[in-house]
């Protein structure tokens, strides 16, 4: 069974993972809810544990319902269990009413959480894991475009041809790869493509946000621990390197780790062995290493905040992903791709980009790169009133060169616009659900979820 836990509290994530890893086959954790659409689309999770309250919204549960709605839009059959420290019966009933399978209060009782997961999976239809719909295998064509998980790499620019050609050449090798690039350029996508096209494709692909690990959890998470090694070590536990044995381990945000962490990691990479915390018995590992960062590693080496010997160890092959602003007409190819994707997903009639919009898009800096473009097109398709997208359908950041994109802020703006659009349709059709759903390009179930979310 494959489980995803989304919560912005690292302690909650670690506690849940330590518990669930003892009972289920594969447990992923994510502290950033903005990554939910990507993870659900590509993860094929059997159960998703979703916190209801993130940093923007302390205790109302509103964010949890927003992300629940996004998950169910991607896969209406997703098995989602909502978790919150501020729950009550009314919120629990509402969560289940709009599509959640169950509701758990934290701090949870371990037996209760396990029983809830078992109950939810028992009721699920076999063969339809959460997130299985709409998932494609990634592959790169000779022209340099990528389908499915690799859609962020679509393009014909010289910079992207270099990237895709390099992927083709090095994927089948076991060479360590370092992927450099700004946020939103697709570093995680490249890592998965390298694994999918390697001879290790049938073995595990283990991704770790290594920069998010505290000093206390770094060794236990990566290298494992034995029972009794520390207070909460109630059982032996394999680390992420052992989990990836025979396959690929992807260390994301490697530029953010401390010097002591760098020294420990370097030792493991040199010896090709890990020793669990509390043990003196090394275990041999066979992994293909892929790392990624948006940090200026060579500057970090110069100021001695990043070890030069570790850099040499991880960058046998170095891939630099260009920002969208340097990819020329790739932007239009990507925009057309996302337009077709979301036109079909939301059943909209929009089919083209106006010349004025194309000019505006070319002048914009796209600080959030391909992911910002993808979100912008999705929002525009949802809110479009005609067959052609215009500049007014997009929200361009006036300070794009200095201010990065904020998907949570954009999601809030999209939510407000969506609510207004539904209100207008309800008034136009005098509350006739079938007519409103048809007008908005939604199923009746999806419309009911939104009506419940907005209290309409």
Together in a domain, 119 and 150: no
| Most confidently modeled range among 4-13, 48-57, 315-324 | 315-324
Token pair belonging to 6 = 């989304």
**Domain assignment of residue 295, yes or no:** yes
Together in a domain, 341 and 293: no
The residue among 377 and 58 whose pLDDT is bigger is: 377
- The bridge status of strand 139-140 relative to strand 146-147 is antiparallel
Is the distance from CB of 93 to CB of 18 less than 8 angstroms? no
CATH of the domain at 161: 3.40.50.300
Angle at which helices 407-428 and 444-453 cross, to 10°: 110
What is the chain's mean pLDDT, rounded? 80
Taking 70 as the threshold, does the pLDDT of residue 58 lie above it? no
Is the distance from CB of 292 to CB of 254 less than 8 angstroms? yes
The residue among 266 and 145 whose pLDDT is bigger is: 266
Structural domain total, the chain: 3
Taking 50 as the threshold, does the pLDDT of residue 137 lie above it? no
The whole-number pLDDT of residue 145 equals 34
Together in a domain, 305 and 348: no
**Domain assignment of residue 13, yes or no:** yes
Residue after which a domain boundary falls, among 296, 322, 348: 322
Taking 50 as the threshold, does the pLDDT of residue 402 lie above it? no
Q: Among residues of the chain, what percentage have pLDDT more than 90? A: 29
Together in a domain, 78 and 156: no
Together in a domain, 101 and 223: no
The whole-number pLDDT of residue 146 equals 33
Taking 60 as the threshold, does the pLDDT of residue 404 lie above it? no
Each residue's pLDDT tens digit, 335-364: 999 998 888 878 888 989 999 999 999 989
Residue spans of beta strands (DSSP E) within 190-326: 205-209, 248-252, 273-274, 283-284, 288-293, 317-320
The residue among 211 and 218 whose pLDDT is bigger is: 218
Alpha-carbon gap, residue 65 to 277, rounded angstroms:
39
**Domain assignment of residue 373, yes or no:** yes
CATH of the domain at 346: 1.10.8.60
The whole-number pLDDT of residue 397 equals 65
Residue after which a domain boundary falls, among 294, 322, 350: 322
Three-state secondary-structure class, residue 408: helix
Q: Which helix (H) or strand (E) holds 425?
A: helix 407-428
Q: How far is CA 377 from CA 115, 119, 263, 285, 345, in A?
A: 41, 38, 43, 43, 12
Taking 70 as the threshold, does the pLDDT of residue 413 lie above it? no
Domain span at residue 13 reads 2-123
Is the distance from CB of 170 to CB of 311 less than 8 angstroms? no
Confidence band for 61, pLDDT divided at 50, 70 and 90: low
Calculate mean pLDDT across residues 144-164.
67
Burial state string for 259-294 with b = 16 or more CB within 10 A and e = fewer than 16: eebbebbbebbeeeebbbbbbeeebebebbbbbbbb
Confidence band for 138, pLDDT divided at 50, 70 and 90: very low
Confidence band for 134, pLDDT divided at 50, 70 and 90: very low
Alpha-carbon gap, residue 8 to 179, rounded angstroms:
26
Together in a domain, 22 and 97: yes
CATH of the domain at 98: 3.40.50.2300
Residue after which a domain boundary falls, among 297, 322, 347: 322
> In angstroms, what is the C-alpha Rg of the chain?
23
Q: Which helix (H) or strand (E) holds 83?
A: strand 80-84
Together in a domain, 260 and 335: no
The whole-number pLDDT of residue 432 equals 80
Instruction: Give residue 455's region: left, alpha or beta (phi > 0; psi -120 to 50).
Output: left
- The bridge status of strand 273-274 relative to strand 102-105 is unpaired
Confidence band for 279, pLDDT divided at 50, 70 and 90: confident
Alpha-carbon gap, residue 392 to 394, rounded angstroms:
5
Together in a domain, 373 and 442: yes
Three-state secondary-structure class, residue 281: coil
Together in a domain, 345 and 309: no
Query: In sequence order, which residues have a C-beta less than 8 Å from that of residue 401 and are 6 or more positions away?
Result: 365, 367
Is the distance from CB of 354 to CB of 389 less than 8 angstroms? yes
The whole-number pLDDT of residue 67 equals 86
Q: How far is CA 409 from CA 38, 54, 397, 405, in A?
A: 17, 13, 12, 9
Confidence band for 374, pLDDT divided at 50, 70 and 90: confident
Minimum mean pLDDT among 58-67, 87-96, 387-396: which range?
A: 87-96
Residue identified by tokens 């207008």 is: 424
Taking 50 as the threshold, does the pLDDT of residue 260 lie above it? yes
Confidence band for 69, pLDDT divided at 50, 70 and 90: confident
Together in a domain, 153 and 294: yes
Edge-to-edge strands, sheet with 317-320: 205-209, 248-252, 288-293, 177-180, 317-320
Strand partners for 29: 5
Together in a domain, 313 and 201: yes
Taking 70 as the threshold, does the pLDDT of residue 214 lie above it? yes
Together in a domain, 314 and 275: yes
């Amino acid at each position: 069974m494959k489980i995803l836990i989304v919560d912005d509290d690292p302690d909650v994530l670690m506690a849940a993972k330590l518990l669930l890893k003892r009972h289920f086959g594969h447990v992923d954790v994510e502290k950033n809810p903005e990554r939910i659409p990507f993870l659900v689309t590509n993860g094929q999770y059997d159960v998703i544990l979703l916190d209801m309250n993130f940093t923007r919204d302390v205790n109302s549960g509103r964010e949890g319902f927003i992300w629940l709605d996004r998950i169910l839009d991607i896969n209406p059959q997703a098995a989602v269990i909502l978790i919150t420290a501020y729950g009550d019966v009314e919120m629990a009933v509402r969560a289940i009413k709009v599509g959640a399978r169950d509701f758990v209060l934290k701090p949870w009782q371990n037996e209760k959480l396990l029983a809830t997961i078992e109950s939810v999976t028992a009721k699920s239809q076999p063969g339809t894991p959460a997130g299985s719909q709409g998932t494609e295998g990634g592959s790169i064509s000779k022209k340099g475009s990528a389908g499915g998980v690799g859609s962020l790499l679509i393009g014909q620019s010289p910079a992207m041809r270099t990237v895709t050609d390099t992927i083709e050449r090095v994927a089948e090798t076991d060479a360590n790869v370092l992927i450099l690039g700004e946020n939103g350029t697709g570093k995680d996508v490249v890592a998965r493509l390298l694994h999918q096209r390697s001879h290790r494709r049938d073995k595990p692909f283990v991704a770790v946000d290594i920069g998010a690990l505290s000093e206390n959890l770094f060794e236990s998470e990566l290298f494992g621990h034995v029972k009794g090694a520390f207070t909460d070590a109630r059982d032996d536990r394999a680390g992420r390197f052992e989990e990836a044995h025979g396959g690929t381990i992807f260390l994301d945000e490697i530029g953010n780790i401390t010097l002591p962490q760098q020294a420990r990691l370097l030792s493991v990479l040199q010896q090709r062995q890990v020793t669990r915390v509390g043990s003196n018995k090394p275990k041999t590992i066979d992994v293909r290493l892929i790392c990624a960062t948006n940090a200026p590693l060579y500057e970090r080496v110069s100021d001695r905040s990043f070890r030069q010997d570790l850099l040499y160890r991880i960058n046998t092959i170095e891939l630099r992903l260009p920002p969208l602003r340097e990819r020329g007409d790739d932007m239009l190819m990507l925009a057309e791709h996302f337009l077709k994707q979301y036109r079909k997903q939301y059943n909209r009639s929009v089919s083209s980009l106006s010349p004025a919009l194309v000019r505006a898009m070319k002048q914009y800096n796209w600080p959030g790169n391909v992911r910002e473009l993808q979100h912008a097109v999705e929002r525009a398709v949802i809110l479009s009133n005609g067959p052609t997208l215009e500049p007014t359908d997009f929200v361009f950041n006036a300070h794009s060169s200095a201010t990065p994109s904020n998907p949570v802020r954009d999601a809030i703006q999209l939510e407000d616009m969506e609510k207004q659009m539904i209100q207008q349709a309800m008034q136009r059709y005098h509350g006739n659900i079938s007519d409103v759903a048809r007008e908005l390009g939604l199923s009746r179930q999806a419309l009911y979820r939104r009506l419940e979310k907005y209290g309409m």
